[in-house]
Amino acid sequence: MRIAVDPGPRDGPVRIRRLADDGAPLGFEETLTDLAPVAELEREHGPRWVFARAHTYRRLLAAGVDVARAHDVELVEGLLVGAAGHYGQPHGLAAATARLHGRTPDPDPPAGDDGPPALFETGPATDELTEVVAVHAAQQRALAAAGPRMRLLAAAESAGMLVAEEMTCYGLPWHPDIHDRLLTELLGPRPVLGGRPPNLAALAEKVTAAFGGRQLNPDSPAEVLRAFARAGHELETTRSWELRRIDHPAVEPLLAYKELARLHSAHGWSWLRTWVDGGRFRPEYVVGGVVSGRWASRGGGALQIPRAVRAAVRADPGWRLVVADAAQLEPRVLAALSGDHALALGEDDLYTALAAREFGGDRAKAKLALLSAMYGQTSGGAGVLLATLRRRFPAAMGYVEDAARAGEEGRLVRSHLGRTCPPARPGHEQPAAARARGRFTRNFVVQATAAEWALVLLAELRLQLRAARSPARLVFFQHDEVLLHTPAAAAEEAAAAVRAAAETAGRRLFGASPVRFPMQLRIVEGYDER
DNA sequence: CGAACAGGCGCC
DNA sequence: AAAGGGCGCCTGTTCG
Measuring from the CA of residue A225 to each C1' atom, give the nucleotide at the shortest distance.
B7
Q: List, by residue range, all CATH 1.10.150 domains of chain A.
A: 330-445
Helix (H) or strand (E) holding A281: strand A280-281
Closest CA to A268 of A338, A141, A356, A179: A179
pLDDT at A117: 45
User: How much of chain A is helix, strand and coil, in % rounded to 5?
Assistant: 50, 15, 35
Residue type, A86: H
pLDDT single digits (tens) A202-212: 999 999 999 99
CA distance linking residue A223 with residue A202, whole number of Å? 18
Q: Can you tell me which residue has its alpha carbon closest to the C1' of nucleotide C8?
A: A301
Residue type, A41: L
DSSP string, A143-172: HHHH-HHHHHHHHHHHHHHHHHHHHHHH-E
Query: Cβ(A263)–Cβ(A306) under 8 Å?
Result: yes
User: Residues A407-428: what's their mean pLDDT?
Assistant: 93
Query: Cβ(A3)–Cβ(A50) under 8 Å?
Result: yes
Distance A109 CA to C16 C1' (A): 26
pLDDT at A406: 95
A325 touches strand B (CB under 7 A): yes
Query: By mean pLDDT, which of A71-85, A120-134, A188-202, A234-248 is the weakest?
Result: A120-134
Q: List, by residue range, all CATH 1.20.1060.10 domains of chain A.
A: 176-272
A300 touches strand C (CB under 7 A): yes
Other C-beta atoms closer than 10 Å to the C-beta of A147 total 11
pLDDT single digits (tens) A252-277: 999 999 999 999 999 999 999 999 99
A307 touches strand B (CB under 7 A): yes
pLDDT single digits (tens) A420-458: 999 998 888 888 889 999 999 999 999 999 999 999 999
Closest CA to A486 of A323, A325, A326, A309: A323
Measuring from the CA of residue A261 to each C1' atom, give the nucleotide at the shortest distance.
C10
Measuring from the CA of residue A265 to each C1' atom, give the nucleotide at the shortest distance.
C10
pLDDT at A114: 52
Q: List, by residue range, all CATH 3.30.420 domains of chain A.
A: 2-112+126-146
CA distance linking residue A462 with residue A498, whole number of Å? 9
A297 touches strand C (CB under 7 A): yes
Distance A457 CA to B6 C1' (A): 38
pLDDT at A124: 57
pLDDT single digits (tens) A181-218: 999 999 999 998 878 999 999 999 999 999 999 889 99
Other C-beta atoms closer than 10 Å to the C-beta of A326 total 24
User: Residues A338-358: what's their mean pLDDT?
Assistant: 90
A235 touches strand C (CB under 7 A): no
User: Residues A284-300: what's their mean pLDDT?
Assistant: 92
CA distance linking residue A293 with residue A161, whole number of Å? 12
Spatial neighbors of A192 by CB under 8 A, at least 6 apart, are none
Q: Can you tell me which residue has its alpha carbon closest to the C1' of nucleotide B10?
A: A304
Q: Please tell me the CATH superfamily of domain A176-272, with its number.
A: Taq DNA Polymerase; Chain T, domain 4 (1.20.1060.10)
Three-state DSSP class for residue A442: helix
pLDDT at A153 over 60: yes
Percent of chain A surpassing pLDDT 90: 83
CA distance linking residue A14 with residue A29, whole number of Å? 11
Three-state DSSP class for residue A241: helix
pLDDT at A113 over 80: no
pLDDT at A21 over 70: yes
Q: Which nucleotides of C are covered by protein (CB under 7 A)?
A: 1-14
- Side-chain-side CA neighbours of A79 within 13 Å: the count stands at 31
pLDDT band at A296 (very low <50, low <70, confident <90, very high): very high
Q: At what angle do helices A350-358 and A363-375 cross, to 10 degrees?
A: 110
pLDDT at A428: 82
Q: List, by residue range, all CATH 3.30.70.370 domains of chain A.
A: 290-328+452-524
Q: At what angle do helices A431-467 and A148-170 cross, to 10 degrees?
A: 70
- Tell me the β-bridge partners of A51: A72
- Tell me the β-bridge partners of A522: A323
Q: Which residue has the higher pLDDT, A285 or A118?
A: A285
A335 touches strand B (CB under 7 A): no
CA distance linking residue A439 with residue A406, whole number of Å? 10
Question: Yes or no: is domain A290-328+452-524 CATH 3.30.70.370?
Answer: yes
CATH number of A330-445: 1.10.150
Measuring from the CA of residue A379 to each C1' atom, give the nucleotide at the shortest distance.
C2
Longest dimension (CA), chain A: 83
The CATH fold of domain A2-112+126-146:
Nucleotidyltransferase; domain 5 (3.30.420)
A170 touches strand C (CB under 7 A): no
A377 touches strand B (CB under 7 A): no
CA distance linking residue A462 with residue A471, whole number of Å? 11
pLDDT at A119: 45
Distance A81 CA to B12 C1' (A): 26
DSSP string, A362-401: -HHHHHHHHHHHHHT--TTTHHHHHHHHHHH-HHHHHHHH
pLDDT at A116: 45
A239 touches strand B (CB under 7 A): yes
